[in-house]
Structure 1
Amino acid sequence: MDMTGQRTLQVTQQQAWEALNDPDILKACIPGCQRFEPSGDQKFAVAAGIKMGPVSAMFNGSVQLTDIVAPQSYKLNFDAQGGVAGFGKGESSVEIKPLEKGCELHYTVHSSVGGKIAQLGQRLIDGVAKNMAEDFFKRFEAELEKRYPPAEEPIPQQSAPAQTSAGVPVWMWAAGAAVALAVVVMVTR
């Protein structure tokens, strides 16, 4: 399976880098993760419960970081065994690019599975992987917001509410934009 994607994050490149290298944050963000802990030089032991269709299993494995260019990018190799359910292995690249406000995270994943889970069919496996990636990013963005809350901008003092040319107060447009941004707003490691 191959997957690529990108996410715009509302934190700096350095803040995103620190979060992507924090085992506690990753454990909280990876769906079904029971363990994510250092086990050597740039290596982590991982355990996660995964359900794909009728197959549920605890996968134990490792993640090894390579080609590290802090705070911009790294590659990782992963390998996990799920007993009779099968195995998964692969590689991923992560790149964080600074933006004027925030940063953009780009990722690619190439993985393969074998055993019982491989018999489920590629469409089911791809669907579960995409859902897990989406779940990871929702959790990751929530963790980032908890760790680095957005700064509140001071509200200028005015005697009367500002109006736009359409007659709607400026604060309503800002609130609507914030709600729209909140609605818009498988890296696994």
Structure 2
Amino acid sequence: MNINGRFTIDAPVEQVWDVFMDAEKLASCVPGAERITMTSPNKYEADMVVKVQFMTLKFAAEGELKEAVPMSSLQVEMTGQAHALAGLFRNRMQVTLEPMSDHVTSIIYQMDMQLTGRLASLGMILVKGTVTKTAEQFATNVKLLFETGRNDGGHAAG
């Protein structure tokens, strides 16, 4: 399942890059992220909760920064297992930062998500709708982080 999107932040690319390289700060913008722990400079573990129409799924997830081109792009891979439902997910995400001016940055993302087991049996349409909605809420939360000037260590609502 592929999901692509773009959103714009009223901030210079350097500030946006700093937030995207801070997994704990960025996690404050991810809907359903309950805990994140850095296990190395490029790896983290997280507990996540995802609401899919008629049920709430809890996941233990691991993420890794696979590649980073400063001020330009990054590639992250996240894998996770549902606590109460057999199945795994793997999400590979490519993020590109595109300066639109000195104070505006466009963020382009491409996700390739794969599901296995009972998780996959929930139906790709149902899951894709939830992932798309979550990505839109993430974009809103990142914008809020910058609009409220709290990108210096504060947390956005989510």
Q: TM-score, normalised by structure 1?
A: 0.73
Q: Is the 8 A contact 2:58 2:84 kept in 1?
A: no
Question: Of 104, 114, 117, which residue of structure 2 is paired with 1:115?
Answer: 117
For residues 71 and 78 of structure 1, the distance between their equivalents in structure 2, rounded to whole angstroms, comes to 21
In our comparison, the structure showing a higher alpha carbon Rg is: 1
User: 137-146 or 82-91, which moves further after superposition?
Assistant: 82-91
Match of 1:136? 138
Deviation at 1:148, TM superposition (A): 6.2
Matched, 1:105 2:107: yes
State the aligned residue count.
Answer: 149
Match of 2:46? 46
Aligned structure 1 segments of 4 or more residues deviating by more than 6 angstroms = none
For residues 120 and 66 of structure 1, the distance between their equivalents in structure 2, rounded to whole angstroms, comes to 29
Match of 1:70? 70
Match of 1:92? 93
Task: Describe the shift of the 1:26–1:135 C-alpha distance in structure 2 as closer, same or farther (beyond 3 A).
Answer: same
Match of 1:31? 31
For residues 9 and 136 of structure 1, the distance between their equivalents in structure 2, rounded to whole angstroms, comes to 12
For residues 31 and 103 of structure 1, the distance between their equivalents in structure 2, rounded to whole angstroms, comes to 22
Q: Which has the higher contact order (CA 8 A, sep 6+)?
A: 2
Match of 1:160? none
Match of 1:187? none
Q: Is the 8 A contact 2:4 2:110 kept in 1?
A: yes
For residues 23 and 65 of structure 2, the distance between their equivalents in structure 1, rounded to whole angstroms, comes to 13
Deviation at 1:131, TM superposition (A): 0.4
For residues 31 and 136 of structure 1, the distance between their equivalents in structure 2, rounded to whole angstroms, comes to 6
Q: Is the 8 A contact 1:55 1:117 kept in 2?
A: no
For residues 149 and 104 of structure 2, the distance between their equivalents in structure 1, rounded to whole angstroms, comes to 14
Cα-to-partner distance string for 1:6-59 (whole Å, 9 max, x where unaligned) = 111110101111111223322221111111221113111111111212332211
Deviation at 1:87, TM superposition (A): 1.6
Gaps of 5+ in 1: 150-189
Matched, 1:145 2:139: no
Cα-to-partner distance string for 1:77-109 (whole Å, 9 max, x where unaligned) = 110011342221121111101112411111110
Q: Is the 8 A contact 1:19 1:144 kept in 2?
A: no
Q: What's the secondary structure of 1:29's corresponding residue? A: coil
Percentage identity across aligned positions?
A: 21
Matched, 1:83 2:83: yes
Amino acid at match of 1:10: D
Higher strand share goes to which structure? 2
Q: TM-score, normalised by structure 2?
A: 0.87
Q: Is the 8 A contact 1:26 1:36 kept in 2?
A: no
Higher helix share goes to which structure? 1
